[in-house]
């Protein structure tokens, strides 16, 4: 909850910064930067949730880490994080990836994130077009 307040404070600081400049191009750059920061923050959170769901122990149920990560890759936290972040970013953009849900929980989470991604990506495109 505290981190969400920090995000809100970040946007208020950006608004104050934007008010100091009269240039349209600087305003556009600041707004694009703010949107990119928001997208990165949301995707970091979703990547962590994707790993958490894939790490749940449920005997006899296939999980995406078992299917898509080799034994060597499972020992590399950076590779795991980047795989999760890549998956998350692909849900928000028209991109594809080799990692797919392997059970009901993963599939349900993916559907919810796809719907969220549709709204966020559309809002990003709309906001960018409106400021130009």
pLDDT in tens, 90-124: 988 878 888 989 999 999 999 999 998 888 888 87
Q: What is the pLDDT of residue 132?
A: 67
Q: Which pTM does this prediction carry?
A: 0.75
- For 72, the enclosing helix (H) or strand (E) is helix 71-74
Q: What is the pLDDT of residue 121?
A: 81
Residue with tokens 């559309």: 122
Cα dihedral: 92, 113, 130, 30 (round 10): -70
Which positions ≥6 away from 131 have C-beta within 8 Å? 27, 28, 31
Q: Quick one: which of 123, 64, 113, 119 has its CA closest to 91?
A: 113
Ranges of residues in the chain with a pLDDT under 50 are none
Tokens describing residue 72? 């060597």
Q: Quick one: which of 15, 51, 43, 50 has its CA closest to 30?
A: 15
């Amino acid at each position: 909850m505290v981190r969400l307040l920090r995000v809100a404070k970040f946007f208020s600081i950006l608004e104050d910064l934007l008010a100091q400049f009269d240039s349209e191009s600087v305003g556009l750059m600041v707004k694009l930067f703010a949107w990119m920061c928001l997208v990165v923050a949301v995707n970091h959170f979703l990547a962590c949730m994707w790993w958490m769901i894939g790490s749940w122990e449920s005997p006899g149920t296939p999980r995406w880490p078992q299917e898509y990560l080799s034994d060597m890759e499972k020992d590399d936290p950076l590779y795991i994080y980047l795989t999760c972040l890549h998956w998350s970013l692909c849900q928000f953009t028209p991109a594809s990836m080799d990692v797919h849900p392997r059970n009901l929980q993963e599939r349900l989470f993916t559907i919810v994130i796809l719907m969220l991604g549709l709204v966020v990506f559309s809002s990003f495109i709309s906001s960018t077009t409106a400021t130009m």
